[in-house]
Amino acid sequence: MFTTQSISVLEEALHFAANQQKVISSNIANVDTPDYKEKSVSFQNVLQTAQSNSNEFQAKQTNERHLAFPLPHSHSLGLQERVQQYNHNGNSVDIDKQMSKMAENQLYHQALVDRISSNFQSLETAIKGSR
């Protein structure tokens, strides 16, 4: 069913938002910890899993010795450590960027919750009828 499918997609996105919130909080928590490097959640692995599911990205193998595109099967969200250094103590957290990312993430999360709620409302309308 269309609605239930989009609910599960939205749920995945909610997981992403929660994960991102966690990473941003830990960046803010470690804003003055020596040698801490800023972390960020990346969507890359999720995208790759989606591609591997849709069978769109197959390598054309004309010889059995050709290598297929290796696609990871993990659903985990990748974490990147940035290499730039900003501070004398080896810390690379940019607090302003983290705060704005957090605000953005909050809005994103609110939008997702709003969409899920309206999906459930549509289901309810379908079940009860428009009484």
The answer to whether 20 and 52 are in contact (CB under 8 A) is no
Site string for another protein, 5-24 (x = CB under 8 A): ---------x--xx--xxxx
Site for another protein in 101-120 (CB under 8 A): 102-103, 105-106, 109-110, 113, 116-117, 120
Q: What is d(CA 96, CA 103) in angstroms, rounded to the nearest whole number?
A: 11
Site for another protein in 45-104 (CB under 8 A): 76, 79, 95, 99, 102-103
Binding segment toward another protein, per CB under 8 A, in 30-38, 42-50, 58-66, 80-88: 30-38
Instruction: Report the nearest approach of another protein to the CB of residue 2 (Å).
Output: 18
The answer to whether 29 and 98 are in contact (CB under 8 A) is no
Instruction: Report the nearest approach of another protein to the CB of residue 115 (Å).
Output: 10
